[in-house]
């Protein structure tokens, strides 16, 4: 039985990853921040850990909570957005909220989780965004979010070299009908997650450190 770890599983894409992974017969370990998230995840049959990726002290406990595990697939799903464009400087509060969750949390999780993924010869996938691609920027909207996801791409591409036994990738879930994406987004959560899971299942060694898309396409510009 494959073991799947989902970091940030309380709702949206993370919760749907729990649903589809348990339905596929995987053993799922999922992290949540609060009791409401714990109840939703437990109802789907997953094992639950309480971790706040925006809190360094909380993330630092991952290693001992996962002691002895081998992780076939790990997902870093946690992410937040702030929407002002480049005409508005980010506040310290917004900067910290976005960078701590989208970048620092991932960089803290990597040294604790990637060795467990490498032991299984598995995949560690981080949800990024097409908005991170520097070679094809259409506007300055959500510039703080764009910057955080570009930083995440670099963090994962750099970390790949320290964990050759694992495949680390960033992956764009598309524009999805979540709290972040809004109800007008073209992709349902279920469709996005099916694409994410299929894409990760089809990775090759050439994909290590790359940015991919939920439909299996590879980013031409990072």
Q: What's the Cα-to-Cα distance from 20 to each of 6, 40, 185, rounded to whole Å? A: 12, 14, 21
133 alpha-carbon distance from chain centroid: 17
- pLDDT attached to residue 3: 98
- pLDDT attached to residue 139: 77
End-to-end CA distance of the chain: 35
pTM assigned to the model: 0.94
The residues, any chain, with a CB within 8 Å of residue 42's CB and separated by 6 or more, are 48
Q: What is the mean pLDDT of each run of 10 residues along the chain (222 residues)?
A: 95 95 98 94 96 90 93 95 87 95 96 97 94 76 90 96 98 78 75 95 94 83 54
Total residue length of the chain: 222
- pLDDT attached to residue 182: 67
Domains belonging to the chain, first-starting first, are: 3-213 (3.40.50.720)
């Amino acid at each position: 039985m494959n073991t799947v770890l989902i970091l940030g599983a309380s709702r949206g894409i993370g919760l749907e990853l729990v649903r589809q992974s348990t339905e596929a017969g995987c053993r799922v370990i999922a992290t949540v921040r609060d009791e409401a998230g714990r109840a939703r995840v437990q109802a789907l049959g997953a094992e639950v850990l309480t971790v706040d990726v925006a809190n360094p002290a909380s993330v630092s406990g991952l290693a001992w909570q996962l002691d002895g595990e081998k992780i076939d697939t790990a997902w870093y799903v946690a992410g937040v957005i702030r929407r002002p464009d480049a005409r508005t400087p980010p506040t310290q509060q917004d900067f910290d909220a976005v960078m701590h969750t989208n970048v620092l949390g991932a960089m803290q999780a990597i040294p604790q989780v990637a060795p467990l993924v490498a032991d299984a010869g598995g995949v560690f996938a981080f949800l990024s965004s097409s908005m991170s691609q520097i070679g094809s920027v259409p506007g300055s909207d959500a510039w703080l979010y764009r910057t955080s996801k570009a930083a995440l791409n670099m963090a994962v591409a750099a970390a790949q070299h320290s964990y050759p036994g694992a495949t680390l990738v960033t992956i764009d879930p598309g524009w999805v009908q979540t709290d972040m994406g809004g109800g007008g987004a073209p992709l349902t959560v279920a469709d996005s997650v099916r694409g994410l899971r299929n894409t990760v299942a089809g990775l090759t060694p050439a994909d290590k450190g790359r940015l991919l898309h939920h439909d299996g396409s590879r980013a031409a510009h990072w």
